[in-house]
């Protein structure tokens, strides 16, 4: 009878490489999930910042309107003072 010996070393190496690949795929999936969570967080932060920017722009417009009104009032008060001075009161 002839003996046939099977060399298992290539199969063992293949098994080890497959295990490494599975580990790498798992690590990549975990990194992807982490990246997606980070993207979600950053999108929420961006939305919050946009809202705050909108509020700030509204406040800036309101401040500008109030400055214009103040200048108008100062002008009117100056006119009234000038008229009072003309009357000599």
Each residue's pLDDT tens digit, 39-83: 999 999 999 999 999 999 999 999 999 999 999 999 999 999 999
Length of the chain: 89
Residue 88, domain member (yes or no): yes
Mean pLDDT calculated for residue range 18-22: 97
Residue 20, domain member (yes or no): yes
Residue 60, domain member (yes or no): yes
pLDDT top residue among 10 and 6: 10
**Structural domain of 15:** 11-89
Instruction: Work out how many domains the chain is built from and give that number.
Output: 1
Element (H, E) at 83: helix 9-87
Residue 23, phi then psi, degrees to nearest 5 = -60, -40
The model carries a pTM of 0.56
Each residue of 37-70: b (16+ CB within 10 Å) or e?
A: eeeeeeeeeeeeeeeeeeeeeeeeeeeeeeeeee
Mean pLDDT calculated for residue range 11-35: 96
Longest C-alpha distance within the chain, in Å?
A: 139
Residue 78, domain member (yes or no): yes
pLDDT at 7: 75
């Amino acid at each position: 009878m002839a003996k046939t010996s099977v060399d298992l070393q290539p199969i063992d190496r293949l098994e080890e490489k497959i295990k490494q690949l599975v580990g790498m795929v798992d690590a990549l999936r975990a990194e992807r999930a982490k990246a997606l969570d980070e993207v979600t967080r950053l999108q929420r932060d961006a939305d919050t910042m946009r809202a705050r920017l909108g509020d700030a722009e509204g406040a800036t417009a309101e401040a500008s309107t109030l400055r214009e009104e103040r200048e108008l009032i100062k002008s009117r008060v100056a006119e009234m003072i000038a008229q009072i001075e003309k009357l000599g009161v």
